């Protein structure tokens, strides 16, 4: 018996609304995680270069641990085991809100920040050491030199690999369905469960992920070109 395709299942009506809600949640959790992973990744990268051994060892252990353990395991760890390491007040605050969302953000943030930290560190190494020395000679502290001189140049250099990390984070957000975050993949799975139209649901979800990735890549690439053109002229 031939399969009867019904694309309206995932595009209109109640199920279409589920897809829209899933897209909004995917963009929400991805945007929050990108912001926090950039901040945390920058901090870890700077810690690796401070010259203070305890901070260097901590930053090294952080990047090696989170880069070399599966993201799915980390998501389960923060969802099922966060109560054991987070203060009770923090756990209660998270449970009173959207705990699944918070656990997903934490897992995506710490995982992606480890990769971003290495990208930033590579960008910093590409800047001549004489610039840091000149900044220190002008009276800037190490943190001030990093903030005003080194990091702005490093970020311009690492835009392409940062785009890759952002896109990976958006795609990795689909794993948060395993802890009940109602993002796009979760909603596609729900449509499949209720309508038995899994092919249509997951095809639409796949095309939406592709569209989001292409849009993000295009926007950041255009910004990079515009920024470089302004510097050139």
106-131 pLDDT, tens digit per residue, is: 999 999 999 999 999 988 888 888 78
Please name which of 164, 161, 186, 41 lies closest in space to residue 104, comparing C-alpha atoms: 186
pLDDT of residue 169: 95
pLDDT of residue 207: 94
3: in domain: no
pLDDT of residue 222: 79
Tens-place pLDDT, residues 144-179? 888 888 888 888 888 878 888 999 999 999 999 999
pLDDT of residue 226: 73
Task: Count Cβ neighbours within 10 Å for each residue of 178-201 and write b for 16 or more, e otherwise.
Answer: ebebbbbbbbbbbbbeeeebeebb
Q: How confident is the model over 27-35, as a mean pLDDT?
A: 95
How confident is the prediction for the chain on average, in pLDDT?
A: 86
Distance separating alpha carbons of residues 31 and 101, to the nearest angstrom: 12
102: in domain: yes
2: in domain: no
Number of domains in the chain: 1
What is the extent of the structural domain holding 137?
Answer: 8-232
164: in domain: yes
CATH number for the domain harbouring residue 103: 1.10.3720.10
């Amino acid at each position: 018996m031939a399969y009867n395709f019904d694309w309206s299942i995932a595009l209109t009506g109640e199920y279409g609304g589920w897809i829209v809600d899933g897209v909004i949640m995917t963009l929400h959790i991805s945007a929050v995680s990108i912001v926090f992973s950039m901040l945390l990744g920058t901090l870890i990268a700077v810690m690796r270069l401070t010259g203070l051994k305890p901070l260097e060892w901590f930053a090294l252990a952080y990047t090696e641990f989170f880069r070399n353990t599966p993201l799915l395991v980390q998501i389960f760890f923060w969802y099922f085991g966060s109560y054991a390491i987070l203060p009770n007040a923090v756990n209660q605050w998270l449970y009173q809100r959207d705990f699944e969302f918070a656990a997903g953000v934490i897992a995506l943030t710490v995982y992606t920040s480890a990769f971003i930290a290495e990208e930033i560190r590579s960008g910093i190494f590409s800047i001549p050491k004489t610039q840091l020395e000149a900044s220190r000679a002008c009276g800037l502290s190490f943190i001030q030199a990093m903030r005003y001189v080194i990091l702005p140049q490093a970020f311009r250099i690492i835009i392409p690999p940062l785009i890759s990390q952002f896109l990976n984070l958006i795609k990795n957000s689909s794993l948060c369905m395993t802890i009940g975050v109602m993002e796009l993949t979760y909603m596609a799975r729900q449509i499949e469960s209720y309508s038995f139209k899994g092919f249509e649901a997951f095809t639409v979800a796949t095309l939406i992920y592709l569209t989001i990735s292409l849009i993000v890549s295009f926007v950041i690439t255009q910004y990079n070109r515009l920024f470089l053109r302004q510097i050139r002229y």
